[in-house]
Amino acid sequence: MLWKQAPAYLRIGIFGHIAIDTISSKNFEISSLGGPPCYAGLAARRLGCDVTLVTKVGVDFPDEYSIWLAKNNLNFSDGARSAKRKTTRFRIRLGNDERNLQLVSRCDDIGDSQLNNLEVDGAILSPIAGEIPKSVSNKILSLNVQTFLDPQGYLRRFDKNGYCYLTSLSFDKLPRTTIIKVDPEEGNYLVGTANLGEIASKLRRRVNKVIVTNGSKNVIIASENTIKEATVPRVDHVIDTTGLGDILSGSFLTTFLKTGDFEWSVCVGIAFASLASKGKGIAKVSEVSGWESAAERVKEGMKVL
């Protein structure tokens, strides 16, 4: 299936904090814009979607970052700038297929008023530090649009030094959604099993469409009565895995809103995210190429479980 350019009127709202990340590995250290609004937003823009960032940034948010986002057609909703708090910041240490997250600062919660006059065709809910309160998620639901939930920020807790860990959470505590994406650890904390197929099956009883990502190995998807597996394309010389889940989210939802084809949209998300791993920081999104043919290969290799 070849991609057809999404029309300019296709609109996505992305809910969650923009972050300023310090990313380090044994080979490099950089400071980069981050957070779901940036990574998912840029992927959606690459595929022709209009994007509104429903977020909060602090008094310390650099003007050059605001200008850069505007040049890339990523627009803030009203009330995005906090009057007192600093921007959410993380230290992210990469190594041996693991990420160590340390929260350095946290901005204000997103407010109800930021949704006033918001007109979108789809919404990505992806908190990184519990910044989407129930009143906001309820207001999102009232928009009656496709909603895509990444629950990571609802499961995260932070110790006194800011280091991140996950805790169990009743599924009923999450916002209602039409699509959910989890990794095996998140799925285990939500439904009590680390088996990918069982995670997909259990979540499918609560959500129409389920995506279970498993790093660079595979992705399990569930919809209606079908569970399928897709293999993630092999990428040599992976540099930075930060934001790959968000890149998948943005490219997936844009494609799904355009085509209505769940499986193909997942394939596009997998391809786009895996190819982005060859870059560093936020720049990795604009450097992606060859994702259409990669998505075709993912689709061809998909199998029923």
Longest pairwise C-alpha distance within the chain: 51
Tell whether the model's pLDDT for residue 154 goes beyond 90.
yes
Tell whether the model's pLDDT for residue 286 goes beyond 50.
yes
Q: Could you read off the pLDDT of 80-119 as tens digits, one per residue?
A: 999 999 999 999 998 876 789 999 999 999 999 999 999 9
Average pLDDT of the chain to the nearest whole number: 93
Q: Could you read off the pLDDT of 3-53 as tens digits, one per residue?
A: 344 445 699 999 999 999 999 988 889 899 999 999 999 999 999 999 999
Give mean pLDDT, residues 166-178. Answer: 95
Tell whether the model's pLDDT for residue 236 goes beyond 90.
no
Banded pLDDT at 140 (limits 50, 70, 90):
very high
Task: Dig out the tokens for 78 from the structure.
Answer: 């009203």
CB 257 within 8 A of CB 202: no
Taking each helix axis as running N to C, give the angle between helix 196-204 and helix 184-191, from 0 to 180 degrees, rounded to the nearest 10.
50
pTM: 0.94
Residue 6's pLDDT is 45
**11-304 falls under which CATH superfamily?**
Ribokinase (3.40.1190.20)
Cross-sheet strand order for the sheet of 50-54? 74-76, 50-54, 11-15, 122-125, 146-149, 179-182, 209-214, 218-223, 226-231, 303-304
Residue 9's pLDDT is 67
How far is the C-alpha of 166 from the C-alpha of 175, rounded, in Å? 18
Residue 95's pLDDT is 80
Q: To 5 degrees, how large is the angle CA 69–CA 212–CA 163?
A: 60
What is the β-pairing status of strands 50-54 and 29-34? unpaired
Residue 4's pLDDT is 44
Residue 128's pLDDT is 97
Residue 261's pLDDT is 96
Give mean pLDDT, residues 199-216. Answer: 96
